[in-house]
A = this chain, B = another copy of it.
């Protein structure tokens, strides 16, 4: 089986690649060929002796999507895109990459003209939702995004569903909750603190908490995100069509509960490295975000996620820190 990953150099893309290399299979078949593309050439995965192509490719450029599918990958994970903050700051870039790039990929598949009908798993986001919200967002909830990023994700979801309904491809839209703990350096995303208040203290560094302890959000680990994408590719089509865009489950908790979990997993000293320093801009942005995702349909479909925030922290310690942290 040949698998194409767009956005393969990103955090989820790299972890998905590692998982496919480890599993060496997908949908009950062996994975013999990987094509990894991103705006910068992704790293070659170590330990994969079969055929791998890595390439810098911008799907928004003419002809690039056609080239990406030229060898007819059976499964495509479409993760490419610019993130929320960047799509909001740069209108043209957001629509170009997230909308035109995604549409170009769908159109290249439609125009293949040789019976090609791949599985296309798309990483969408709970940013397709916009306030005001009920206590928990049900699967039937309206799409009223309040960012350009959420708008672009919702548009590709709609097209993916229509192309699926028309028999052009087999789409699955995976609406991700907030993915924590993101490894690496802090970034400027407004949501960065959800990872930062766990990652930095575990590395022995102070972290700033810019919102109140009572903020509620829904989280899943990067490992769960990869699991969602793989399960999305493997689900029998009759279980999800025609409503192929699915809101994932997650651990719904307050920031205060996140911090208590950190204290349980890593001790008082680590949890005390969090400094409370409210930032009115971040408070306002976070106020408009979805809080609790019900994710009932996804759970019934077998998508699984951590049960507690403690587990999410342990995944980070295990997967990104080699089991050790600065106590």
Q: Are B166 and A148 in contact (CB under 8 A)?
A: yes
Decide: A159 near B155, CB < 8 A? Known: A142-B139, A146-B242, A242-B130.
yes
With a cutoff of 8 Å between Cβ atoms, the chain B residues found around residue A141 in the complex are 140, 142
State whether the Cβ of A307 lies closer than 8 Å to any Cβ in chain B: no
Report how many copies the assembly holds: 2
Chain B residue nearest in CB terms to A94: B162
State whether the Cβ of A154 lies closer than 8 Å to any Cβ in chain B: yes
**8 Å CB contact of A146 from B134, B151, B165:** B165
A154 to B161, CA, bound (A): 12
State whether the Cβ of A243 lies closer than 8 Å to any Cβ in chain B: yes
With a cutoff of 8 Å between Cβ atoms, the chain B residues found around residue A144 in the complex are 161, 242-243, 245
A residues 121-143 near B (Cβ < 8 Å) are: 130, 134, 139-143
Chain B residue nearest in CB terms to A162: B151
State whether the Cβ of A91 lies closer than 8 Å to any Cβ in chain B: yes
With a cutoff of 8 Å between Cβ atoms, the chain B residues found around residue A166 in the complex are 91, 148
Q: Are A158 and B162 in contact (CB under 8 A)?
A: no
State whether the Cβ of A250 lies closer than 8 Å to any Cβ in chain B: no
Q: Are A161 and B165 in contact (CB under 8 A)?
A: no
With a cutoff of 8 Å between Cβ atoms, the chain B residues found around residue A7 in the complex are none
**8 Å CB contact of A151 from B91, B159, B243:** B159
**8 Å CB contact of A158 from B134, B140, B154:** B154
Q: Are B142 and A158 in contact (CB under 8 A)?
A: no
A217 to B242, CA, bound (A): 22
